[in-house]
Amino acid sequence: MFSSVLIANRGEIALRVIRACREAGLRSIAVYSDADRHAPHVREADEAVHIGPTAAAESYLNIDRILEAARTSGAEAIHPGYGFLSERSEFARAVTAAGLVFIGPDADVMDSMGRKDRARTIAEKAGVPVNPRYDEDAVPADAYPVLVKAAAGGGGKGMRVVREAGELAEAIAASRREAASAFGDDTLLIERYVEHGRHVEVQVIADHHGNVVHLFERDCSVQRRHQKVVEEAPAPNLAQSVRDILHTSSVALCREVGYTNAGTVEFLVKGAEVFFLEMNTRLQVEHPVSEAITGIDLVQWQFAVAAGEELPRAQSHIHQQGHAIEVRVYAEDPYAGFLPQAGRATDVSWPVRARVDAAFERGQEVSTAYDPMLAKIIVHGKDREDALSAMVRALDDTAVFGVTTNIGFLRRLVASDEFAAVAIDTGWLDGDESTTFKEKPEMPAEAVEDAGRLWAKIVAVADEDPFGAADSWRMGAEPAKTHVQLNDESGEAHVFAFDRQDYEDAVGLAIADPGGLTIAWQGQSWRLTIPDPMRGSGHVAAAVADVVSPMPGTVLEVLVAEGDVVAEGQTLGMVEAMKMEIALKAPYDGVVAHVGAVAGSQVPLGHVLFTVDPA
């Protein structure tokens, strides 16, 4: 029914759909903003259309510009990817009203399932187990902890856990404000919060002929601030009775609402208890793990369903094999509260022994305008232990230089005893149990020595003139040792003396510059410098009096005035960046000497918002 597909998205999901188009013999059409003019998805598509400025509201979220791009390029169908317009029913309606095929569910179904409150009602009608719900002004005293969440969206936006009645009003206000900002709708749900629950979801897909199948379940319990970090399939350590409830409930829900195309039904699981959370009416970021265990290309199946065909296989012919794990590589600092990062990649190395869904490469800039996810790394093994080993190896072979990422954190996490034992629930990363994982580790001695070998090798071959090479060669004598001194980030000096055979075969993930090198070791990056003979080794640490904006963003609140006395850790104000609220706190006890912004103002990275003079 169609021979060309416009992908209304960017980044790795755009590349994923472009590859599927190429395999299906369909013409692919990319769209791009000013910031993405030279992006990989623009190069890979058969055609690319510019749709506007960098701001998503004026490009990727602009329905009129997407439809105009489809008209001028001659596209016959539109794939929304995930994020942006993928779950906007008004977009799906506009696509079909323009005479195009929308590769996703019907707009009315999106309306029904896109809101958590409506979806809950439909789930109850279909016999799907749901969580107890409370009115805002009538939460029983014995109901706590409860979860306040936005009814109109997902991704952890507008979501707060409330443990005491006295915290409810503040949580409702914050969730309502965040929901309005993210979704344009501040309607909230309040439900029982299930402590130490696991997030388990079922991949479903249905056609227009009444066929509905599931592709088994995924465990997505490793989350920070309700954002998924690691996913795996099948979900480990589940009773078969629980799996049966998950699968049959998901299919029943799809039949009840008349669902078509790919979607995901999400549940909270604790022991034998199963509670419906929501339905995502689109392809999910974590769909590759379901593809890995079933051998099914979900995007190809999406094309078939959108073209009016029946599903290629019945449920009885869909089987799972082995175990798959996916990690999400983010431009964020896990040791600073998972704060999103920006910058330009000086070099990038992706593992060759894994599936990598990425659209991030050397020289590319990470902008604050879009989601900070850079890539997904997916591995498949004969069982979970095999898949875990494969993921550790893959992360050892991964490095991004120039931008702070969570790669080292991911490597530590998947190699941990807690992950191996399936002991991580949805609140674990936000709790005290994971404190050591959220503190930057000290640089291991092995990493320092590897850096020394690499630097020795760099020094030895730096000069193409054999008489100028610093390789310790001596006429008629054994080569002298090559001496190396590198200073780590704390200023500690490390001195090595290497024989040539110690370093000439040195391999590792590192990038050098005249002042030293940055090495990636087990995913974590460390900077080491060569000593400057013109400077002394001593230094005096100065107190940091300025509190600056950690990201370009909007000042939400200013809570202090010049002359106020503040205590260490006291919140001075709030900044919103990348849809996150960031609290700016006093570095020590003191007096506010300067306030550099007002609520509502836009501030750049590094802008001095407050100056605190020590008490």
Residue bearing the bigger pLDDT, 233 or 547: 233
Residue 466 scores a pLDDT above 60: no
Reduced to 3 states (helix: H, G, I; strand: E, B; else coil), residue 294 is helix
pLDDT (mean) for 289-293: 98
Sign of the Cα torsion 436, 346, 376, 11 reads positive
CA distance 103 to 106: 9
Residue 537 scores a pLDDT above 70: no
Task: Tell me which of 242-256, 327-341, 509-523 is least confident.
Answer: 509-523
Average pLDDT, the chain: 91
DSSP 315: G
CA distance 118 to 187: 12
Closest CA to 368 of 336, 344, 399, 400: 344
What number of residues does the chain have? Answer: 615
pLDDT, tens digit (0-9, with 9 covering 90-100), for 435-458: 999 999 999 999 999 999 988 887
Phi, psi angles (nearest 5°) of residue 496: -130, 155
- pLDDT-based confidence at 226, cuts 50/70/90? confident
pLDDT (mean) for 164-187: 92
pLDDT, tens digit (0-9, with 9 covering 90-100), for 419-430: 999 999 999 999
pLDDT (mean) for 588-604: 89
Strands 4-7 and 27-33, by their bridges, are parallel
**Sheet of 516-521, strands arranged across:** 493-498, 482-487, 524-529, 516-521, 509-513
Residue 375 scores a pLDDT above 60: yes
Closest CA to 132 of 4, 37, 268: 268
Q: Rounded to whole angstroms, what are the CA distances from 406 to 247, 316, 391, 469?
A: 33, 40, 15, 38
CA distance 561 to 595: 7
* Six token digits for residue 166: 């006295």
pLDDT at position 460 is 64
* Six token digits for residue 70: 């489809």
pLDDT at position 501 is 79
Residue 478 scores a pLDDT above 90: no
- pLDDT-based confidence at 494, cuts 50/70/90? very high
**Sheet of 188-192, strands arranged across:** 133-134, 188-192, 146-150, 160-162
Q: Which residues pair with 580 in a beta bridge?
A: 577
- pLDDT-based confidence at 551, cuts 50/70/90? low
Q: Which residues pair with 585 in a beta bridge?
A: 571
Q: What does pTM read for this prediction?
A: 0.85
Reduced to 3 states (helix: H, G, I; strand: E, B; else coil), residue 28 is strand
Closest CA to 472 of 487, 457, 490, 485: 457
- Please tell me which of 40-44, 340-344, 597-601 the model is most confident about, judged by mean pLDDT: 40-44
Sign of the Cα torsion 496, 497, 502, 507 reads positive
Angle between helices 63-73 and 89-97 (to 10 degrees): 30
Reduced to 3 states (helix: H, G, I; strand: E, B; else coil), residue 411 is helix
pLDDT at position 579 is 57
Reduced to 3 states (helix: H, G, I; strand: E, B; else coil), residue 324 is strand
Sign of the Cα torsion 61, 67, 70, 75 reads positive
CA distance 334 to 409: 7
* Six token digits for residue 458: 């760099």
CA distance 261 to 318: 17
Q: Is 418 exposed, middle or buried (0-12, 13-18, 19+ CB in 10 A)?
A: middle
Phi, psi angles (nearest 5°) of residue 109: -65, -40
- pLDDT-based confidence at 183, cuts 50/70/90? confident
Residue 469 scores a pLDDT above 90: no
Reduced to 3 states (helix: H, G, I; strand: E, B; else coil), residue 485 is strand
pLDDT at position 512 is 86
Q: What does R_g of the chain's alpha carbons equal in angstroms?
A: 26
Q: Is 413 exposed, middle or buried (0-12, 13-18, 19+ CB in 10 A)?
A: buried
DSSP 357: E
Q: Cα–Cα–Cα angle for 603, 604, 606, nearest 5°? A: 110
- Name the one residue in this structure whose structure tokens are 């912004």: 597
CA distance 391 to 377: 8
- Please tell me which of 160-169, 496-505, 585-594 the model is most confident about, judged by mean pLDDT: 160-169
Residue 175 scores a pLDDT above 80: yes
Provide CB contacts within 8 A for 165, sequence distance 6+. 139, 141, 144
Closest CA to 205 of 267, 150, 284: 284
- Name the one residue in this structure whose structure tokens are 């290309």: 297
pLDDT, tens digit (0-9, with 9 covering 90-100), for 501-521: 778 778 789 998 778 899 999
Residue 250 scores a pLDDT above 90: yes
Residue 543 scores a pLDDT above 60: no
Residue 471 scores a pLDDT above 70: no
DSSP labels, 186-214: --EEEEE--TT-EEEEEEEEE-TTS-EEE
CA distance 68 to 601: 34
22 phi-psi bin (left φ>0, alpha ψ -120 to 50, beta other)? alpha
Q: What percent of the chain has pLDDT over 90?
A: 77
Residue 477 scores a pLDDT above 60: no
Residue 200 scores a pLDDT above 60: yes
pLDDT, tens digit (0-9, with 9 covering 90-100), for 29-55: 999 999 999 999 999 999 999 999 999
pLDDT (mean) for 121-133: 96
Q: Are 179 and 150 in contact (CB under 8 A)?
A: yes
Residue 534 scores a pLDDT above 50: no
Specify the DSSP element, H or E, that contains 529: strand 524-529
pLDDT, tens digit (0-9, with 9 covering 90-100), for 94-115: 999 999 999 999 999 999 998 8
pLDDT (mean) for 287-310: 98
DSSP labels, 208-229: TTS-EEEEEEEEEEEEETTEEE
CA distance 402 to 344: 6
Q: Cα–Cα–Cα angle for 521, 526, 527, nearest 5°? A: 135
Angle between helices 287-294 and 298-306 (to 10 degrees): 100
DSSP labels, 296-349: --HHHHHHHHHTTPPPSS-GGG----SEEEEEEEESEEGGGTTEE--EE-SEEE
Q: Are 84 and 61 in contact (CB under 8 A)?
A: yes
- pLDDT-based confidence at 464, cuts 50/70/90? very low
